Chains A and B, each alone.
Chain A
Amino acid sequence: MIAHLSRRYLFSASHRLHSPEMSVAENQATYGKCNNPHGHGHNYILEVTVSGPVDQSTGMICNLVDLDECVKREVLLRYHLENLNMLQEFTETVPTTENLCIEIFEILQRSFSYAHLDKVKLEETMMNSFEYAGGRELTRA
């Protein structure tokens, strides 16, 4: 029997939305307050969903300790209390929450092998959130 497990994590980081391909006026028009050269920060909530058959001997899809350790090591340590613009993956890519969500999905896709990665959801504030499932449609809303 396939079940889907979701776990939520918190990290805080700062960013500035600015594209070198746009003029100053265009950046301002596109990103508004998010274009402030000094940056600003968010408390991001990361929701990771994995799925797989429930192992009859443990009752689990995968061991939560393994998932927590992987997310902590590969994602939280990398992003928590950092300025996203200073990181290698955002030197040429604007650190919007869309791009961060995709990046985190790809990191976990590479590093977590104990269950299938369904999707990554990233809440930037209580009012907006982004989901990425490796390009797949979200069929089980």
Chain B
Amino acid sequence: MVYLTRKAEFAASHYYHNPAFTAEENQRIFGKCNNPNGHGHNYTLEVTVKGEVDQRSGFVVDLKQLKEVMNREVLDAMDHRFLNKEVPEFFTKIPTTENLAIAAWQRLEPKLHNARLHRVRVYETPDLFVDFYGEE
């Protein structure tokens, strides 16, 4: 089994707000992230797939195909977007880094055929990132 990781970057804005909370609760729990006008990050998406090395190609997965799937399923939808308003998952869910990692996994997992998804890592900043390994 070999693990292969591919990175991509995207820039997006978001804010944290739960309509079930009062204005005070939203403010207390989410702090500055509750600003309704949003704020942005340069996110790094890191996708790790695993599989056996194909004897003919020497590949675990065709990197070009992996890149295309990442672009089509995640980056095209999220790059230079306001996550709360333009990405369907976040019409109801709060676009935290946790939920972003889960959303990226759910978008990628059914589209990968030659290798299995091992991990999705999303960096919100260089000092904060979330890993998701599917249902544990």
A3 at the interface (CB under 8 A from B): yes
Q: Which residues of B contact A61 (CB under 8 A)?
A: 98, 130
Q: Which residues of B contact A59 (CB under 8 A)?
A: 16, 93-96, 98-99
A residues lining the B interface (CB < 8 Å): 1-9, 49, 54, 56-61, 63-65, 140-141
**Which residue from chain B places its CB closest to the CB of A139 in the assembled complex?**
B133
B54 at the interface (CB under 8 A from A): no
B129 at the interface (CB under 8 A from A): yes
**Which residue from chain A places its CB closest to the CB of B102 in the assembled complex?**
A1
Q: Contact at B102–A4, with CB atoms within 8 Å?
A: no
Give the CA-CA distance A45 to B101 in the complex, in Å: 24
**Which residue from chain A places its CB closest to the CB of B3 in the assembled complex?**
A141
Q: Which residues of B contact A4 (CB under 8 A)?
A: 130-133
**Which residue from chain B places its CB closest to the CB of A52 in the assembled complex?**
B98
Given contacts A59-B94, A59-B95, contact A3 B102 (CB under 8 A): yes
Given contacts A58-B96, A59-B94, contact A2 B136 (CB under 8 A): yes
